[in-house]
């Protein structure tokens, strides 16, 4: 995909708290001019489900269920995030808000996309596999489309790269011949 590409491409931008700006900015700078953008946000059911369960288990019925309030708050926060992302994108886009298991929902929603843009969600202090959290790792491993993975802020220095495993270090050491 290049800026001179005139083919309409579907570009999904996974927006999540703390890293959405980097994903939107990457879409603006790297996606084709004719791209059809979809902003994708997934709200996990975990917190409302836990609150519903605690309410039923501890308090019984007939009182205010806190899970309902959590669902309303999560929906409002998702809407605000999608609105902010759309303003930053500054181009026509679809908005897709899904509730469910985050990583599986992202993989399913982006299955027919030409590109999924997402940001790292793990340890941002150093390079390496821990810069991907559980959800991002799952999406990178299972996405049915190409994935553009970006850093939410400037990447760490190359000096933060983890050392190679012991077996690899032995192969990298100079070999001594004759003795």
* Distance, CA of 89 to chain centre: 17
Mean pLDDT of 136-151: 97
Residue 144 resides in a domain: yes
Q: Using 50, 70 and 90 to split pLDDT, how confident is the model at 52?
A: very low
Q: Order the strands of the 93-99 sheet from edge to edge.
A: 93-99, 36-43, 10-14, 115-119, 147-150
Residue 3 resides in a domain: no
94 has pLDDT over 90: yes
Residue 2 resides in a domain: no
Q: What is the pLDDT of residues 150-177, one digit of tens each?
A: 999 999 999 998 888 887 656 666 665 6
**Pick from 83, 150, 116, 114: nearest CA to 14:** 116
Residue 163, domain extent: 10-172
Residue 19 resides in a domain: yes
The total number of structural domains that make up the chain:
1
Model's pTM, two decimal places? 0.78
Torsion of CA 115, 118, 123, 127, to 10 degrees: 40
Q: Using 50, 70 and 90 to split pLDDT, how confident is the model at 56?
A: low
Cβ–Cβ < 8 Å for 128, 109: no
* 130 CB-contact burial (10 Å; exposed 0-12 / middle 13-18 / buried 19+): middle
Residue 5 resides in a domain: no
Q: Using 50, 70 and 90 to split pLDDT, how confident is the model at 72?
A: confident
Q: Tell me the two tokens of residue 175.
A: 């070999």
User: Which has more pLDDT, 62 or 30?
Assistant: 30
**CATH number of the domain residue 133 falls in:** 3.40.50.620
User: Which has more pLDDT, 60 or 77?
Assistant: 77
């Amino acid at each position: 995909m290049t800026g001179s590409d005139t083919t309409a491409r579907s570009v999904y931008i996974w927006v999540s708290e703390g890293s959405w700006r980097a994903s939107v900015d990457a879409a603006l700078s790297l996606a084709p001019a004719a791209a059809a953008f979809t902003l994708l946000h997934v709200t996990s059911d975990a917190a409302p489900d836990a609150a519903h369960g605690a309410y039923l288990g501890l308090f019984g019925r007939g009182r205010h269920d806190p899970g309902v309030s959590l669902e309303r708050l999560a929906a409002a926060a998702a809407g605000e995030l999608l609105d902010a992302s759309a303003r930053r994108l500054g181009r026509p886009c679809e908005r897709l808000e899904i509730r469910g298991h985050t990583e599986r929902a992202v993989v399913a929603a982006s299955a027919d996309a030409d590109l999924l843009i997402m940001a790292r969600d793990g340890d941002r202090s150093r390079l390496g596999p821990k810069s991907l959290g559980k959800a991002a790792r799952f999406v990178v491993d299972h996405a049915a489309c190409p994935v553009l993975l970006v850093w939410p802020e400037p990447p760490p220095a190359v000096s933060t790269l983890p050392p190679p495993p012991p077996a690899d270090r032995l192969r990298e050491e100079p070999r001594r011949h004759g003795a």
